[in-house]
Amino acid sequence: MKYVDEFRDGTLARGLAAAIRAEADPARRYAFMEFCGGHTHAISRYGVTDLLPPNVRMIHGPGCPVCVLPIGRIDLAIRLAFERGVTVLTYGDCLRVPASDGLSMLKAKARGADIRMVYSAADALALAQREPGREVVFFAIGFETTTPPTALVLQQARALGLANFSVLCNHVLTPSAIQTILESPEVRQFGTVPLDGFIGPAHVSTIIGSRPYEFFAEEYRKPVVIAGFEPLDVMQAIRMLIRQVNEGRAEVENEFTRAVNRDGNLKAQALVSEVFELRRSFEWRGLGQVPYSALRIRAPFAAWDAEVKFGLDYRSVPDHKACECGAILRGVKRPSDCRLFATVCTPENPMGSCMVSSEGACAAHYNYGRFRDHAPDNGRSTPPATIRLAS
Amino acid sequence: MCLAIPARVVAFAADDQAVVDLGGVRKQVSLALVDGVELGDYVIVHVGYALSRLDPEEAEATLALLREAGALLEPASGEAPA
Ligand code: SF4
């Protein structure tokens, strides 16, 4: 596929790997966090870790909206379906996220709740239009990438005066999550994660641009490189981060110039700010309450806000005691440090949210990296002859 | 969840909709979030909506940089990169 395959080319990957090895100073260690699950997925799936020198370590961050969705929010959707008899529509990724009482939306559906999967917010709106007798709630989730489509359907619902449609808004914001990782007390408690820089979000940045990350570069003296989701994009970003560290710079650089600029998509931003406002605080799975990290629906759209319409009250529910998602999302632990990993907790039967989506750190490691744990040299000292190019 | 793919716009339809080609598969997507898309443009598509245009010149420039990375090293290191 054009603009995809070129960025998965094995020969170029080997050249880039050599360039990274040449630029990484053997006398120092580098640790970079990729914020987005899309990067985590690319790194695991294409064996990027195997192409890096042993002193360059990638740490998986919290950047998967499914992984950071707390149990209590999914409980709200399940209660709506069971107790109020509404039809809940959501993206496929959300269906298997573990909720209270051993349930998930999928298991609730099997027990008779009317919960269905949609491919787009527009499909949810269309169902409400087609069946005016049915109460339809769109369970909206996602970072800045998925928020503009939700804003659009809310606007359309208001324009149509659609009385049987509402949105349960779970949209969260990436910059505040990065800030939380840098300031988290848990990180201090576990000892600091030695983060030398971030690979910044790809598709989120098509909307918000690269400007919001300038704050981190300045305030925390951490380099940020915005990168595309293909393996060569990630490798080039690592190379750019190494170079910044070597030169003592902490700037925002953009590897993904083919889709991202400094300002982002202004039309989408205007739409989002017309429909949504900041929540004071929102609970993230694994990170706890994060101030000003999520959006809620503005008052003029209250009639389409499921939380207002159904008077929902949020109850926080602790994660499974043995699940280490919280530490993993902060970069303090690795999936294999969790005692449930690949035994009790698998992608077929996830205990924690990091095992649900293929972008989650545990699922990515389960599918593509598990065997490396048992390699005698940890699999990293000799780069393989070929990059794995499954597509 | 946030993954989006580049697709080529092959036709326009009513209500800000367009038909895109995704490596041979045709799909209808909404152009409501991006202004000024022209026929033949590549757009980044996510959950049924185009999020931004893809700039072919910038894509080429990035690829050129990636090619350069390996090419610069090969003769100097005297060995085929692993
Ligand atoms: S392996 Fe499962 S239980 Fe353990 S941290 Fe990962 S998602 Fe949580």
Summarised one tens digit per residue, pLDDT across range A265-283 is 999 999 999 999 999 999 9
pLDDT at A155: 97
Return the biggest CA–CA distance within chain A: 68
Q: Tell me the mean pLDDT in the region A225-241.
A: 96
Q: Name every chain B residue with its beta carbon within 8 A of the beta carbon of A207.
A: 51-52
Percent of chain A scoring above 90 in pLDDT? 67
Q: Give me the residues of A, 341-360, that contact B with CB < 8 A.
A: 357, 359
pLDDT at A60: 86
Regarding the beta carbon of A335 and ligand 1, being less than 6 Å apart is answered yes
How far is the C-alpha of A57 from the C-alpha of A327, rounded, in Å?
Answer: 17
A146·B46 Cβ contact <8 A: yes
Name the average pLDDT for chain A: 89
Nearest ligand 1 atom to alpha carbon A361: 6
Cβ atoms A340, A323 nearer than 8 A: yes
Task: Tell how far the Cα of A354 is from the centroid of ligand 1, in angstroms.
Answer: 6
Q: Name every chain A residue with its beta carbon within 8 A of the beta carbon of B23.
A: 1-2, 4
Percent of chain B scoring above 90 in pLDDT? 67
Minimum Cα–Cα distance from A90: chain B residue: B47
Regarding the beta carbon of A235 and ligand 1, being less than 6 Å apart is answered no
Structure tokens at A306: 């499921």
Work out the pLDDT band at A333, boundaries 50, 70, 90.
Answer: confident
pLDDT at A384: 37
Q: Residue A108: pLDDT above 80? A: yes
| pTM (predicted TM-score) | 0.89
Structure tokens at A289: 């309450």
Q: Give me the residues of B, 19-78, that contact A with CB < 8 A.
A: 22-23, 30, 32-35, 42, 44, 46-49, 51-56, 58-59, 61-63, 65-67, 69-74, 77
pLDDT at A388: 39
Q: Name every chain A residue with its beta carbon within 8 A of the beta carbon of B72.
A: 19
Helix (H, G, I), strand (E, B) or coil at A64: coil
Q: Name every chain B residue with its beta carbon within 8 A of the beta carbon of A37.
A: 1-2
Q: Tell me the mean pLDDT in the region A147-165.
A: 97
Question: CB contact, 8 Å: A65 with chain B?
Answer: yes
- Tell me the β-bridge partners of B22: B25
Pairing type for strands A115-117 and A87-90 reads parallel
Long-range own/partner contacts, residues A180-188 (CB < 8 A, 24 or more apart): A180/A284, A180/A287, A180/A290, A180/A293, A181/A33, A181/A61, A181/A62, A181/A287, A181/A330, A181/A331, A182/A216, A182/A220, A182/A222, A184/A287, A184/A330, A186/A326, A186/A327, A186/A330, A186/A332, A187/A330, A187/A331, A187/A332
B52·A259 Cβ contact <8 A: yes
Vertex A82: Cα angle to A79 and A84 (nearest 5): 85
B1·A255 Cβ contact <8 A: no
Work out the pLDDT band at A391, boundaries 50, 70, 90.
Answer: very low
Lowest mean pLDDT among A42-46, A129-133, A300-304, B8-12: A42-46
Vertex A178: Cα angle to A28 and A99 (nearest 5): 120
More confident residue, A155 or A98: A155
Q: Residue B4: pLDDT above 90? A: no
Q: Residue B13: pLDDT above 60? A: yes
Minimum Cα–Cα distance from A1: chain B residue: B23
pLDDT at A330: 80
How far is the C-alpha of A335 from the C-alpha of A370, rounded, in Å?
Answer: 9
- The minimum CA-CA distance between A242 and chain B, rounded to whole Å, is 14
- The minimum CA-CA distance between B66 and chain A, rounded to whole Å, is 7
Q: Tell me the mean pLDDT in the region A165-189.
A: 82
Pocket test for ligand 1, best of A97, A287, A355 (most atoms within 8 A of CB): A355
B48·A122 Cβ contact <8 A: yes
Condensed to tens digits (0 to 9), the pLDDT of residues B60-72 reads 999 999 998 877 6
Condensed to tens digits (0 to 9), the pLDDT of residues A49-82 reads 889 999 999 988 888 888 889 999 999 999 999 9
Q: Residue A195: pLDDT above 90? A: no
Taking one residue from A and the other from B, the number of pairs with CB-CB distance under 8 angstroms is 166
Minimum Cα–Cα distance from A50: chain B residue: B82
Work out the pLDDT band at B73, boundaries 50, 70, 90.
Answer: low
B74·A18 Cβ contact <8 A: yes
Cβ atoms B9, B37 nearer than 8 A: yes
How far is the C-alpha of B49 from the C-alpha of B33, rounded, in Å?
Answer: 7
More confident residue, B80 or A263: A263
Helix axes A147-160, A266-275, angle to 10 degrees: 60
Asked whether this complex has an ipTM greater than 0.85, the answer is: yes
H/E stretch holding B13: strand B5-13
* Burial annotation A37-74 (CB, 10 A radius, 16+ → b, else e): bbbbbbbbbbbbbbbbbebbbbbbbbbbbbbbbbbbbb
Regarding the beta carbon of A327 and ligand 1, being less than 6 Å apart is answered no
pLDDT at A227: 96
Q: Give, using CA atoms, the residue closest to atom 3 of ligand 1.
A: A323
List the A87-90 sheet strands across, edge first: A115-117, A87-90, A136-142, A165-171
Q: Residue A84: pLDDT above 70? A: yes
Q: Is B37 left (phi over 0), alpha (psi -120 to 50) or beta?
A: beta
Q: Residue A110: pLDDT above 70? A: yes
User: CB neighbours of A247 closer than 8 A, spacing ≥ 6?
Assistant: none
Q: Name every chain A residue with its beta carbon within 8 A of the beta carbon of B62.
A: 233, 236, 255-258
Q: Tell me the mean pLDDT in the region A106-127.
A: 96
pLDDT at A338: 93
End-to-end CA distance of chain A: 10
Question: CB contact, 8 Å: A36 with chain B?
Answer: yes
pLDDT at A228: 95
Which phi and psi (to 5°) does residue B59 adopt?
A: -60, -45
More confident residue, A199 or A182: A199
Cβ atoms A194, A245 nearer than 8 A: no
Condensed to tens digits (0 to 9), the pLDDT of residues A281-331 reads 999 888 888 889 999 999 999 999 999 999 999 999 988 888 888 888 887
Condensed to tens digits (0 to 9), the pLDDT of residues A302-315 reads 999 999 999 999 99
Q: Tell me the mean pLDDT in the region A100-118.
A: 95
Q: Residue A382: pLDDT above 70? A: no
Q: Give, using CA atoms, the residue closest to atom 7 of ligand 1.
A: A352
Regarding the beta carbon of A338 and ligand 1, being less than 6 Å apart is answered yes
pLDDT at A1: 86
